Amino acid sequence: MKLTMDLIARGTSGYTKKKRDESMQQYIRRLTHLYLEHKNIDDIGEDLSLCRNLIVLYLYDNLLNRVPCLNSNCSLTHLYLQNNNISKIENLGALGRLQKLYLGGNAITVLEGLDKQHQLQELHVENQRLPTGEQLLFDPRSLRSLSNSLQILNISGNHLTSIRDLDCLMSLTQLLASDNQLSDMKELAHLLGGSWRHMTRLDLMGNPLCLRAKYKDRVIVMGKFLEVLDGKNITETTRQFLLNWHASREITRKKTEDNLFRQETFSAVPNGSSAGDLPPVRSAVSRQTSVSGYIMPGLPRKQFDDILAKSNFPDPERARKTRSGIMRAKLSLKLPPIHTKAVMTPRQPTTFEFRLC
């Protein structure tokens, strides 16, 4: 069915009535809201261009194969085109004031054609009729144009496996992404902790990540300003409890890491360790055995032993211990050197007695 002037005149709400002395064209020209849903319309024609003051246009549940040319309707702020046969987003360049765009239930494969919609606040592209095995794609140019204005985005039911491309949407407060194939919790944490700091409503029901352990608890901790998750309100008591629980876990994790670090630092150094490792601790025994015994200055070792054997010690074992004591005296830390003095006793002229001075 082609859109006609008569159909336009009957597509008003009843609040805007035609005046008695007013022509049809004058009447259509001052219309602001037009209700043309469920009319089996497949061709817009040119009569719609007469609605120069149109603000809201309802064209959902029709048979449109493309977005109609609305260059003459520059005042549009709300456009409803869901449940048609549209496969491409186009003909929206003249709608610089557009704030809400509804395109759900069509056959759109790429989110594009929104380069000039710098005031768009709501975008609904849910449940597109996509080819088997394909998912909805996002044009980077359109996303950049929406980065500072878009607040509500509905992308549910589009076979999405990732939403990382939406990172640039800095003003997003509501994301409806249910019934997709999202499974990466780290990706969600990156978005909620980065550009999506103002997110208040998040719907992820029907995604594989919802099956993760403590999924809701973790998401609430990630999104510090979330008010609604999967259709359920988040109370302040719940949020505070989960934040305290998360802080406690972080403290426990930090302590565990510190303990592991200490164990690795003070563990035994293996053989062949690099030069940067700590040297092995040398025991007192090893230090003692590495120092040679004390020998009297100027005497060979054999002559020293002979002189010591002729001393007046009655017990040979005692003589050996005395010699060991003299050598140990040399091993003491930085003690003055030990000097010996030979004294001849009158009882045994050939016997020497050594005394420590």
Give 66-81 pLDDT, tens digit per residue: 999 999 999 999 999 9
| Residue 145 · residue 126 · CB < 8 Å | no
Give 147-156 pLDDT, tens digit per residue: 999 999 999 9
Q: Does residue 288 have a pLDDT over 70?
A: no
> How confident is the model at residue 253, as a pLDDT?
67
| Residue 210 · residue 204 · CB < 8 Å | yes
Give 164-200 pLDDT, tens digit per residue: 999 999 999 999 999 999 999 999 999 998 889 899 9
> How confident is the model at residue 338, as a pLDDT?
52
Percent of the chain with pLDDT over 90: 50
Buried b (16+ CB within 10 A) or exposed e, 94-111: ebeebbbbbbbbbebbeb
Give 21-53 pLDDT, tens digit per residue: 888 888 888 899 999 999 999 999 888 988 999
Q: Which segment of 64-73, 208-217, 243-252 scores lowest on mean pLDDT?
A: 243-252
> How confident is the model at residue 291, as a pLDDT?
45
Q: Does residue 241 have a pLDDT over 50?
A: yes
User: Does the model's pTM come out above 0.85?
Assistant: no
Q: Does residue 63 have a pLDDT over 90?
A: yes
Q: pLDDT band at 210, cuts 50/70/90?
A: very high
Q: pLDDT band at 121, cuts 50/70/90?
A: very high
Please check whether the domain covering 5-240 is classified as CATH 3.40.50.11540: no
